[in-house]
Structure 1
Amino acid sequence: MHFTLEDLLRVTLAPTPAPLTELVLATAVVQRQDNPVFSRWRQRTLQTFPRAARPLLELVPPTGKGPLFLDPLSRGIDDGLDQVLSSSADFVRADLKRVCAAGRPLTLWTTHLAQRDHDAWQVLQGSVRAGYAGLLAPVWDRITSGFEAERAWRAQILARDGIRTMLTGLTHGLRLSGSVLEIDSSEDRDVHLAGRGLTLLPSAFWSGRPLVGVYPHGPAVLVYPAVTPLTLREEPSTADPVAALLGRTRAAVLALLTRQRTTTDLARELDISKSSASEHTKALRQARLIVSQREGKAVWHTCTPLGLGLIAPTTATGQGRQLDAPPAG
């Protein structure tokens, strides 16, 4: 992957997990037998895979390299489907041709998709919604909590060690030689970003080599395996052990600080006084769970790796953090 200076300045971390990307990768993992971490999940999911979602299996291969128009970056199902349905006819045809050439069957349905047949696209829309409801919605809180912890951790690596360490540390098999990121892969491919930038997206389902998507508009996307895959994340508990340890309000402060916030932000979001928010951040800072930095009149706070390690295995459901599924319409 070839970076220009502009590309290096436009490397970003995705702000939220992308439900359509996770759906595509979950559909790929269902078809793979090479990862013992997902073996029990795969066996269970094969039995419960929604019938209405089965057309997705015609589009998504076990490699995860399905149609790019099917997995745009989005915050929810509705805006993601809007992007899917507004894909240009040329992009859809070229993408389906690529996927079918790589081993997906050329069926009557995929032919109709390429022809922009209304009924075929209605089937696709129903498949996506059924797949989300059956595969993702029940575990979306766990996906989101893991994503936020990972994103905060990567941001700290970027701030502390720089972009080289952050990029090459995403997963094994990555090397940065000058302005070229080399990815160990059986595929011989050169990607020239040409100023479009790159968005980094961890996946709770994917465990293979990083996947690179270059879209007609916007930045390229590099999908890499999250440090902790979904199947190794603990089931959510009704009891919050962090709240039991720190107290409910202080645990809520810590949970909010997976993203950088000011004392004023904390006071407003938790509906507490600014002095109370300051006392909580002082205690967390003394425990080395957060770090603080003054900029002018504002003091910015964020979790340390120790703080992230404390909250990452749990799903905070207190007043400071509510992890909801994206709107499904």
Structure 2
Amino acid sequence: MTLYSLRAPDDLLAVRFACSPVWETQAAVQTFADDRARSHHELWHRLVHERVVRLDLTPLFAVLPRRGYVPDFLTPPPRNARPRLRDQLAEIRATPPTQVGRELRLCRETVQDERYRRTLDSFLNDPPAARDLLATRLHEVWLELVAPFWIRIRTLLDRDIEQRSRMLARYGLRRVLDDLHPRIRWTKRGLSLADCSGRTVGVDERGLLLMPSAYLWPHVAAVVEEPWLPTIVYPVRGIADLWRAPAAPPDALARLLGRTRALVLAGLDRPLSTTALAALIELSAAGASRHLLSLRDAGLVSTTRHGHEVRYSRTALGSALLNGRRA
């Protein structure tokens, strides 16, 4: 059992929630080696299959065992509730080589696969180079496998945090902590996580970070090593909604617009990029783009820019048409 010791009032006040793009990225990699976790993301695995073969995931597989120690420098604790991936990757690349080497050695002690042990041996010969390579590989996984779906994932994570914030206001912190996962319980001594570590982690003024995760589901994970912020990562609520395909559009709308174009309109139940929408409805990006432009020209969808990404949303007219109402 790992015990997070929260004794003073200041310790309890320092408990906070956040979501982490880099955590989701490494957890996504881990699903390829975990049949139980993979079963909850089957649609995603089918959608990204062709992209995975373009990536060299061996370095990440070596340091991301589903069971065993994962180097904590690969998942720096978010400094705010919604960090940017580029900032987290910069933190990874800024990790001192001595810390990188220490954590890679801890990881090697738990890895059983001889291929990955050899990879870790090569990493230990040059920790700074290993650190930078792993950051680069995480960035590649993000771009190819996670970013196209990030709006959908982040919406689910944000919803989890919002629900628990309302629970906190209504019922208090103990109820929130007891509700995170069956292995997590509030006791008189502090917050306990049922595992095999036997560790006691002092929270003090640093606080305790709680992070929902989609790709971790249904597992729970913890960060207990110094100098990192004590962290518990728990499975997000509502995982069944994450990869659910949009409902089929009404027959009348399909006859009016055409089935595929009607499906594109129905898929915009939240702002999505062309790539994310195409993946969701299993359409080519080029095909989705053509339909989106036609719907935009008809006033049924609108566009907004988020950084370098253009996202599409249904307009009031588009929603009225989809739902069979007068605008």
TM-score by length of 2: 0.66
User: For residues 43-58 of structure 1, what are the structure 2 equivalents within 5 Å?
Assistant: 45=48, 48-49=51-52, 50-58=54-62
The alpha carbon displacement at 1:173 in A equals 2.4
CA distance change for structure 1 residues 58 and 104 in 2, over 3 Å: closer, same or farther?
Answer: farther
* 1:59 and 2:63 matched: yes
Give the Cα separation in 1 of the matches to 2:145 and 2:112.
Answer: 22
User: For residues 260-279 of structure 1, what are the structure 2 equivalents within 5 Å?
Assistant: none
The alpha carbon displacement at 1:126 in A equals 2.4
CA distance change for structure 1 residues 190 and 118 in 2, over 3 Å: closer, same or farther?
Answer: closer
Q: 1:223 aligns with which of 220, 233, 243?
A: 233
Give the Cα separation in 1 of the matches to 2:21 and 2:76.
Answer: 9
Please report the RMSD computed on the Cα atoms of aligned residues, expressed in angstroms.
3.2
* 1:193 and 2:203 matched: yes
* 1:11 and 2:15 matched: yes
Greater fraction helix: 2
CA distance change for structure 1 residues 46 and 190 in 2, over 3 Å: closer, same or farther?
Answer: farther
Moved more, 191-200 or 23-32: 191-200
Aligned AA (1:51)? L
Give the Cα separation in 2 of the matches to 1:227 and 1:183.
Answer: 19
Moved more, 81-90 or 71-80: 71-80
Give the Cα separation in 2 of the matches to 1:232 and 1:125.
Answer: 26
The alpha carbon displacement at 1:63 in A equals 2.7
Percent pairwise identity = 22
Give the Cα separation in 1 of the matches to 2:55 and 2:12.
Answer: 43
* 1:89 and 2:100 matched: no
Aligned residue in 1 for 2:28: 26
Give the Cα separation in 1 of the matches to 2:167 and 2:77.
Answer: 23
User: For residues 1-329 of structure 1, what are the structure 2 equivalents within 5 Å?
Assistant: 1-5=4-8, 6-14=10-18, 17-35=19-37, 36-39=39-42, 41-42=44-45, 45=48, 48-49=51-52, 50-63=54-67, 65-74=69-78, 75-103=83-111, 107=117, 109-116=119-126, 119-214=129-224, 216-217=226-227, 219-229=229-239, 232-235=242-245, 238-239=265-266
Aligned residue in 2 for 1:296: none
Moved more, 158-167 or 104-113: 104-113
Moved more, 101-110 or 168-177: 101-110
SS at the partner of 1:34? helix
Aligned residue in 1 for 2:298: none
Give the Cα separation in 2 of the matches to 1:18 and 1:133.
Answer: 15
Q: Mind listing any 5+ residue stretches in structure 2 that lack a counterpart? A: 247-263, 272-300, 310-327
The alpha carbon displacement at 1:133 in A equals 1.1
CA distance change for structure 1 residues 323 and 158 in 2, over 3 Å: closer, same or farther?
Answer: farther
SS at the partner of 2:201? coil
Aligned AA (2:26)? V
Retained in 2: the 8 A contact 1:29–1:42? no
TM-score by length of 1: 0.66
The alpha carbon displacement at 1:149 in A equals 1.1
The alpha carbon displacement at 1:43 in A equals 6.0
Give the Cα separation in 2 of the matches to 1:13 and 1:95.
Answer: 25
1:103-129 deviations in Å (ceiling 9; x for gaps): 165645434433445544443232111
Aligned residue in 1 for 2:285: none
Give the Cα separation in 2 of the matches to 1:13 and 1:103.
Answer: 31
Retained in 2: the 8 A contact 1:206–1:224? yes
CA distance change for structure 1 residues 64 and 201 in 2, over 3 Å: closer, same or farther?
Answer: farther
Moved more, 44-53 or 95-104: 44-53
1:258-278 deviations in Å (ceiling 9; x for gaps): xxxxxxxxxxxxxxxxxxxxx
Retained in 2: the 8 A contact 1:93–1:114? yes
Retained in 1: the 8 A contact 2:209–2:230? yes
